């Protein structure tokens, strides 16, 4: 297995990121957390949002590459 494949296997899936973010939001919206815990959850959420955004950007680039490949005339 290459380094790239190993990193991909260890990276969280987009759906898992969304699920965790939803859980964090629910806990934060509950309003009964101590400030320190709320800040830690918020910080985790920001990190997850960045990861998810990166995954979406990567997917968008792949789709664009496929579109270009399909649009190129065959020799």
Is residue 55 domain-resident? Answer: yes
pLDDT score at 12: 75
The rounded distance, in Å, linking the Cα atoms of 31 and 38 is 9
Task: Look at residue 12 and give its three-state secondary structure.
Answer: coil
Is residue 6 domain-resident? Answer: no
Is residue 23 domain-resident? Answer: yes
Is residue 2 domain-resident? Answer: no
- The position carrying tokens 């949002």 is 49
Is residue 65 domain-resident? Answer: yes
Is residue 3 domain-resident? Answer: no
- Structural domain range at position 34: 13-71
Q: Assign residue 37 the CATH number of its domain.
A: 1.10.287
In terms of DSSP H, where are the helices of 1-75? 3-10, 14-30, 35-71
The rounded distance, in Å, linking the Cα atoms of 19 and 56 is 15
Is residue 8 domain-resident? Answer: no
* Per-residue tens of pLDDT for the chain, all 75 residues: 566 665 556 667 999 999 999 999 999 999 899 999 999 999 999 999 999 999 999 999 999 999 998 887 766
């Amino acid at each position: 297995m290459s380094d790239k494949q190993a990193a991909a296997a260890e990276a969280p899936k987009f759906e898992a990121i969304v699920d965790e973010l939803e859980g964090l939001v629910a806990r934060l919206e509950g309003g009964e957390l101590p400030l320190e815990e709320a800040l830690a959850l918020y910080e985790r959420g920001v990190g997850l949002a960045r990861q998810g955004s990166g995954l979406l950007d990567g997917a968008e680039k792949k789709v664009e590459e496929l579109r270009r490949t399909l649009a190129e005339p065959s020799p």
